[in-house]
Amino acid sequence: MTRVRTSAIVGLVLCAVLTAGCSGSGSGSGSGKASDNSASAPDKTSSAGSAPDAAAPTESNPPGDIPDNQAFVAYRPSGGFTGFTVKVPEGWARTTNGATTVFTDKLNRIQISAATATAAPTVGSVTNTVVPQLRGRVSKFAHPKVSVVQRRAGTAVLLTYQGDSATDPVTGKVVRDAFERYAFHRQGHEVDLTLSGPVNADNVDPWRIVSDSFGWR
């Protein structure tokens, strides 16, 4: 009888010890996981602090596509240097300031500037002169690329880049824009044709119509 009672008591003690050990181990594991999750959580404060320096987000489906049935009409300057013509989308708003004329519609823009230039633009001159100027004027200027292209009027120096649009006065929204700047030159005159609209807008064909329509007269 004594041996049976002793064995029973020993068994109860061992069971209690094991139960306490299992309970302690489970608590420690749970505490460790909570610590890991806390350490890997993103720092929202740091991310928010860097937002003002970031460029405007690129929209996946921007409302800047020019319709496929858009009609184009010839623009001939009536003041300043008048020795060229170019097609622009019919119905777009037009403003003129000195030797620069701008056509706009919704989020798209065409700027035409004429100037006297004894030397023709080159990849080097655009890279070393125009790019730094735009970097100082265009918000979040990025990804400049300069190349020589052929259009119907002849050779042009093309500068492509991205930048943030001006803040919309109604919505307060800023759009990430893509730019194509063509520099045409002949007989001491340079005409810069800049086409811009939202990044990812499907305006490849309309912009080609405009840039190919440029001609000297």
- C-alpha closest to that of 160 among 123, 191, 189: 123
| pTM recorded for the entire structure | 0.73
Distance of alpha carbon 171 from alpha carbon 159, whole angstroms:
30
Q: Which residue has the higher pLDDT, 33 or 133?
A: 133
What pLDDT was estimated at residue 64?
82
What pLDDT was estimated at residue 54?
79
Q: What is the mean pLDDT of the chain?
A: 81
Q: What pLDDT digit, counting tens, does each position of 4-56 carry?
A: 444 444 344 433 433 444 444 443 333 333 334 333 343 433 333 334 577 77
> How much is the average pLDDT of 150-174?
94
What pLDDT was estimated at residue 55?
76
Q: How many C-beta neighbours within 10 Å does residue 197 have?
A: 26
Give residue 57's pLDDT band: very low, low, confident or very high (50, 70, 90).
Answer: low
Q: What pLDDT digit, counting tens, does each position of 101-113 carry?
A: 999 998 999 999 9
Q: In the structure encoding, which two tokens stand for residue 89, read together?
A: 């989308």
DSSP of the chain: -HHHHHHHHHHHHHHHHHHHHHHHHHHHHHHHHHHHHHHHS--HHHHHHHGGGSPPPPPSS-TTPPPTT--EEEE---SS---EEEEEETT-EEEEETTEEEEEETTEEEEEEEEE-SS---HHHIIIIIHHHHHHHSTT-EEEEEEEEEETTEEEEEEEEEEEPPPPTTT----EEEEEEEEEEETTEEEEEEEEEETT---HHHHHHHHHH-EE-
Cα 70 vs. chain centroid, distance in angstroms? 25
Q: Which residue has the higher pLDDT, 40 or 88?
A: 88
